[in-house]
Structure 1
Amino acid sequence: MNDILIREATPADAAEVTTVFETAFAPLRSIYRPTGAALARQAERAQTGTRLVAEIDGKIVATVQYDLHAEHIHVIGLAVHPDFQRKGIARQLLDWICIRAKNLGQPAVVLDTIRETGNVPLFEKLGFRVTHEETATWCVSEKYQAVHDVKLERLV
């Protein structure tokens, strides 16, 4: 595979970022779907965080956003296009954010995922550990009676 370039997103990336995000999350929508209120909060949050993109040959293949908090960096919406999954791109994006956290003096990087997606073991493999789990109230599922929001943390 060609080199992966990780950089901050620009306004010109918006359409490609949306396509990658929607394509990556489409399979998860059979497991859970954010409520209207949660989608509104996500749209609002998208205006305040820093968005990264991963490019291969000038094409955006992954994206993630992060917010700075007092005691950690919070990762939001990690999305790798299905054609490029399992190639280490998510690891590179998360490592980039962890380096940023360390440079800023932040002790940890945190993220949330839905247990029923099967992503918890993937994040654990990338150095994260589960710190909290509760029933997710911000989304609905047609497949499960309840889904579980899992908070994970990686010390830097």
Structure 2
Amino acid sequence: MDDLCIRRATGADIEAVLRFWREAAEGTSISDDQDGVARLVRRDPEALLLAERDGELVGTVIAGFDGWRCHLYRLAVHPEHRRRGVARALLSAAEKRFAALGGRRGDAMVLDHNAPAQRAWHAAGYRREARWSRWVKPL
């Protein structure tokens, strides 16, 4: 893993991140556009973490903290780099960020039909919270 670099995203990374998500992420989000990612990077410059290997983007995670809860979104690893510790390194960096901010528990949004992602989250120590369902309303 010595060749893996975890760093925060900048405005210059937005287009590459959007391209990466189209290839490596499961599903799409209402915020998967230039404005949505730019707003995230401006509001919380430490939240969008990138994993690079030899200068190539191989993974992402959004580690958002609202002062109350620690939220994880868009954990994605390029298919050619999966099962090589990229997700583990990204989650470790996210969890260190949360701990430094005083966060107490991380939560992740995982698609119900994405069995490989569910296995990865489980392997990282996360458990499905059966008592909750997500409610949404587009604004």
TM-score using structure 1 length: 0.70
Q: Distance in 2 between matches of 1:104 and 1:95?
A: 14
- Measured against aligned partners, the alpha-carbon deviations of 1:30-84 in whole angstroms (never above 9, x if no partner) come to xxxx5xxx61x55575323521111111111111212212332111111111111
* Partner of residue 105 from structure 1, selected from 102, 106, 111: 102
Query: Which residue of the partner structure matches residue 5 of structure 1?
Result: 5
Larger strand proportion, structure 1 or 2? Answer: 1
Task: Give, in angstroms, the shift of residue 2 of structure 1.
Answer: 5.8
Cα distance between partner residues in 2 of 1:137 and 1:4: 36
The aligned counterpart of 1:152 is: none
Larger RCO (alpha carbons 8 Å, 6+ apart): 1
Aligned to 1:123: 121
- 1:107 offset after TM fit, Å? 0.5
Question: CA separation of 1:58/1:42 partners in 2, compared to 1, >3 Å: closer, same or farther?
Answer: closer
CA distance in structure 2 between the aligned counterparts of 1:83 and 1:130, rounded to whole angstroms: 27
Q: Structure 2: how far apart are the matches of 1:42 and 1:20?
A: 11
Shift of 1:136: 7.8
1:71/1:108 contact within 8 Å kept? no
TM-score (norm 2): 0.78
Give percent identity, aligned residues only: 27
Match 2:71 to one of 58, 70, 74: 74
Deviation digits for residues 79-128 of structure 1, max 9, x if unmatched? Answer: 11111111110111011111111111110111111121102222011011
> What letter matches 2:128 in structure 1?
V
Matched, 1:87 2:80: no
Distance of 2:5 and 2:88 partners within structure 1? 13
Change in Cα spacing, 1:80 to 1:136, as seen in structure 2 (3 Å) is farther
